[in-house]
Amino acid sequence: MYVKEVLVQNKAGLHARPATFFIQKANEYKSTVWVEKEERRVNAKSLLGVLSLGIIGGTTIKVLLNKLIIYTLSEFKGGFPPFLFCLFKG
């Protein structure tokens, strides 16, 4: 698994609208994408799962990708999809 820690800089966090956008982007990939907060891991393609984490601004989360996605996204620097960072810009 490939793991990246991300600081959520959006003051509102991942509430319904940004979480929906995040999930839509995650669903563009065949591979499994997970979001983890404080040892609790949910499928990044599940709105209920992502919302259940209660991710607020200033929270550090982990985004995990299974090994298969690293090969399909090798054209990105570091092998990590840029869509995962688009929600976390200030």
Instruction: Tell me the C-alpha distance between 50 and 60, whole Å.
Output: 14
Q: Kindly name the residue from 6, 10, 15, 36 that is annotated as catalytic.
A: 15
Is residue 10 among the annotated active site residues? Answer: no
Q: In which region does residue 54 sit, left (phi positive, over 0), alpha (psi from -120 to 50) or beta (all else)?
A: left
Looking at the chain, list the stretches that DSSP marks H as alpha helix, in order from N- to C-terminal side. 16-26, 47-52, 67-72, 83-86
Q: Which residue numbers are catalytic? A: 15
